């Protein structure tokens, strides 16, 4: 029976591609666009049902594009060696040394002692930390650096199988969601916001002050943070804990031996890469090539030079490569490649044009349609690509009906920054650490519905009415 179900899921994936290719409206979406949408549907289905390993599904954009020629193959393949992929690889190498030195146990005890073992407290803490950092930093950097710290804590308390652990799944999903939400708080939250700022300046003919953005979106951020946290803790009991009391974790931490030189070096290299990533703007003019991804790679290379007191090398590639989470890297790359197919094939543009033909005339219905469009596009492609595609469409629709487009650009920006359901973009990171895409989809659909309703109301009353 199990093999029969697997066969059904295996065949259903390519069947979705065929159905999309032949049944989607030919007059509105070209063959490349229909193929791209079908490929994303195939990937989403296989990620949720898992008839093959998640990393295998991540290579579908290359395989299908080789047959259907939906986009330039070099552009598709480039996603599998992008800067973000190098960042994730560097971070993975650096965290391998944690287990060898015992640093992972020390970090876990520090956080458990600081925050406490209450699951609700843990969710709120990881959400706020990730959201605040991502308000001024790229969300991929935040998610890639915060997630390993949380994983080390989860490993210590015995929650190693993330897919089967409700606690681990909740915490990793929290970090990914918060890293996305926080990006809306300031224009520095990601390249997608800078794209929006550029369009606003074109519309107004004036320089756009960043403080205006912060003030304008503050009420939206309050609603988003509160609703996301309440959704995440909705099924967590007040007394539900990670295991062990705060006093127990304090005793365990106190009983640990002082940090060894190897531990200090492992921690220092990770912190150095993280700080360089977080303070990029301070040295960008002096070292323009030292982007966050390369900072992590440089520190990863240095980690192979560390020796212990006896002169033995701390890390050897043969042992390191078996501990690197390759699945994480390939899932992330596959999500990027799917986004390239959607954008370069014209599918995203076609979807936007379909929305423009709905006869929108402004008001609450138009706000709902814009938030829905941007939410969907952000789930299947990158936030920056969504901004580049959706904002011009929103402007043209509003100008076409003689309405000021600026309020609706602000509305679109909300959806551009949010996405919850598929393991694309930064949501591939928790999946790479073992989170089930099926769980992500289930939670993401519920939260997306809630956010769609709340953001439609916020967008209408704060920007349009």
pLDDT band at 455 (very low <50, low <70, confident <90, very high): very high
The residue among 144, 172, 154, 166 whose CA lies nearest residue 107 is 154
Report for 13-22, 40-49, 291-300: range of highest mean pLDDT: 13-22
Percent of the chain whose pLDDT exceeds 70: 99
User: Rounded to two decimals, what is the model's pTM?
Assistant: 0.82
Residue 186: its pLDDT value, please? 87
pLDDT, one tens digit per residue, over 179-205 is 999 989 988 787 788 888 888 888 888
More confident residue, 48 or 31: 31
Task: Return d(Cα 172, Cα 325) in angstroms, integer.
Answer: 15
Residue 406: its pLDDT value, please? 92
End-to-end CA distance of the chain: 56
Task: Return d(Cα 383, Cα 196) in angstroms, integer.
Answer: 11
Per-residue pLDDT for 359 more than 80? no
CA angle (150, 449, 431) in 5-degree steps: 30
Residue 245: its pLDDT value, please? 65
Q: Which residues pair with 187 in a beta bridge?
A: none
In contact, 291 and 309? CB cutoff 8 Å: no
Supply the mean pLDDT for the chain.
88
pLDDT, one tens digit per residue, over 96-148 is 888 788 888 888 888 888 888 789 999 999 999 999 888 877 788 888 888 98
Which whole number is the average pLDDT over 295-319? Answer: 87
Residue 453: its pLDDT value, please? 96
pLDDT band at 165 (very low <50, low <70, confident <90, very high): very high
Percent of the chain whose pLDDT exceeds 90: 38
pLDDT, one tens digit per residue, over 80-96 is 988 878 888 888 888 88
Task: Return d(Cα 325, Cα 111) in angstroms, integer.
Answer: 23
pLDDT band at 368 (very low <50, low <70, confident <90, very high): very high
Which whole number is the average pLDDT over 59-85? Answer: 92
More confident residue, 80 or 323: 80
Per-residue pLDDT for 32 more than 90? yes
pLDDT, one tens digit per residue, over 378-432 is 888 778 778 887 888 888 888 877 888 899 999 999 999 998 998 887 888 899 8
pLDDT band at 244 (very low <50, low <70, confident <90, very high): low
For the record, the structure tokens of 332 come out as: 């992330």
CA angle (270, 276, 279) in 5-degree steps: 135
Q: What is the CA radius of gyration of the chain?
A: 23
């Amino acid at each position: 029976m199990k093999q029969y179900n697997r066969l059904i899921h295996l065949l259903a994936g390519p069947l979705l591609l065929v159905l999309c290719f032949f049944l989607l409206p030919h007059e509105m979406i070209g063959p490349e666009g229909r193929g791209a949408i079908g490929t994303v549907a195939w990937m989403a289905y296989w990620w949720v049902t898992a008839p093959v390993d998640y990393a295998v599904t991540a290579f579908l954009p290359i395989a299908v594009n080789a047959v259907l020629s939906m986009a330039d193959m070099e552009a598709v393949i480039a996603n599998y060696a992008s800067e973000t992929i190098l960042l994730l690889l560097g971070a993975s190498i650096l965290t391998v040394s944690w287990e060898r030195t015992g640093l992972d146990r020390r970090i876990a005890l520090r956080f458990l002692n600081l925050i406490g073992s209450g699951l609700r407290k843990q969710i709120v803490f990881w959400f706020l930390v990730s959201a605040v950092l991502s308000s001024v930093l790229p969300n991929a950097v935040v998610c890639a650096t915060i997630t390993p710290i949380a994983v080390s804590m989860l490993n210590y308390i015995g929650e190693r199988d993330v897919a089967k652990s409700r606690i681990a799944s909740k915490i990793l999903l929290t970090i990914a969601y918060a890293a996305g939400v926080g990006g809306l708080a300031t224009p520095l939250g990601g390249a997608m916001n800078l794209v929006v700022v550029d369009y606003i300046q074109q519309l107004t003919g004036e320089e756009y002050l960043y403080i205006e953005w912060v003030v304008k979106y503050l009420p939206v951020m309050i609603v988003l943070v509160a609703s996301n946290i309440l959704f995440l803790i909705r099924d967590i009991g007040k007394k539900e804990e990670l295991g062990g009391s705060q006093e127990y974790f304090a005793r365990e931490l106190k009983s640990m031996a002082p940090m060894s030189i190897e531990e200090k070096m492992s921690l220092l290299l990770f912190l150095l890469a993280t700080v360089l990533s977080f303070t990029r703007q301070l040295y960008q003019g002096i070292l323009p090539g030292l982007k966050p991804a390369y900072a992590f790679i440089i520190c990863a290379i240095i980690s192979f030079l560390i020796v212990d007191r006896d002169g033995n090398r701390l890390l050897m590639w043969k042992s390191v490569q078996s501990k690197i989470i390759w699945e994480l890297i390939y899932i992330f790359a596959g999500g990027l490649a799917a986004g390239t197919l959607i954008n370069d094939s014209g599918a995203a543009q076609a979807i936007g044009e379909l929305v423009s033909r709905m006869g929108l005339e402004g008001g609450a219905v138009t706000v709902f349609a814009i938030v829905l469009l941007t939410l969907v596009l952000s789930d299947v492609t990158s936030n920056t690509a969504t901004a580049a595609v959706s904002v011009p469409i929103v402007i043209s629709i509003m100008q076409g009906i003689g309405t000021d487009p600026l309020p609706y650009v602000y509305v679109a920006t909300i959806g551009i920054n949010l996405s919850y359901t598929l393991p694309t973009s930064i949501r591939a990171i928790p999946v790479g650490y073992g989170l089930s895409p099926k769980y992500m989809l289930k939670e993401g659909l519920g939260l997306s519905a809630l956010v769609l309703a709340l953001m439609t109301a916020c967008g209408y009353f704060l920007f349009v009415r």
